[in-house]
Amino acid sequence: MDNFDSSAYLKRLNLSAPVEPTVEGLRTLQKAQFLTIPFENFDILLGRGIDLDPEHQFDKLVHRPRGGYCFELSGLFLRALQTFGFKARALLARVHLAGKPSGRGHQLSLVLVEGRRWVVDVAFGKDNPRGPVPLELDTVQEFNGVQYRLADGGRCGTMLQKRGDDDWRNLYSFDMEYVFPADIDYGNHYTSTSPHTFFTRDRVAIKPLEDGIVTLHNYRLTVTRNGQKMSEELPEGQRYLDALKIHFGIELDAPCEALKPIAQKG
């Protein structure tokens, strides 16, 4: 039986009471975790790797001032869903942001509630839908002024798309195949160790806000609120660590010099 400390989890999310296994409860839980626990990959760049052991995962994301990347954040969220009585299971997705599909390197959740199936994500960074998306093709959902839909992805299964200025942009695709823990371990190992992935080369932190979002890509910190964007380049050292704490609530137990150097491009 999963020893999930629901009281500590709810406190971390600033929720005063457990949610009910309803659509509204699903929306509440997704929003609370999405806005509270940041997306970040610093353990990879500290050479620690990503440990998906449930107790380690819970300690890092709930008890410590840290965040995680998709397999950590989605794993925690799935355990929370199941603890609060939702019928939920993991799905694995192929990311399409670079044009061609990746391997199954992204985790999300499939939830059956009130007679409908929903795909729910808390770990896709700045392009993450801010609410559950019903598993229905061509049904447009809008969150904070941004439109999403699920479309037929052909051989890739079902495609999540985001509306751009002129057309729909492919985000990721998934199918309904059952996901075993070993499938997640395989995806996590490649994504967190291969020199060909974004997460082993670049520093990233993302924390959504009610009225915007804060992002860090390597040294570039960008704060967007109510459509207004401000950016700055952060130096290495204490100011970098201070920015992580102020903007993302991340406190690293390591000096800045311990992070893997950022490769020069060009």
Residue 121 is among the residues annotated as catalytic for this protein: yes
Tell me which of 43, 96, 106, 247 is the catalytic residue: 106
SS3 content of the chain, % helix, strand, coil (to 5): 30, 30, 40
Cross-strand bridge partners of residue 215: 206, 222
Q: Which of 43, 70, 96, 247 is catalytic?
A: 70
Q: Are residues 244 and 41 in contact, defined by beta-carbon separation less than 8 angstroms?
A: no
Closest to 178 measured CA to CA, from 110, 112, 122, 84: 110
Contact 127, 108 (CB under 8 A): no
**Burial letters for 8-24: b for 16+ Cβ neighbours within 10 Å, e otherwise?**
ebbebbebeebbebebe
70 catalytic? Reply is yes
Residue with tokens 């019928």: 87
Question: Could you tell me if 52 and 71 are in contact, meaning their C-beta atoms sit under 8 angstroms apart?
Answer: yes
Q: Which of 121, 152, 165, 175 is catalytic?
A: 121
Annotated catalytic residues are 70, 106, 121
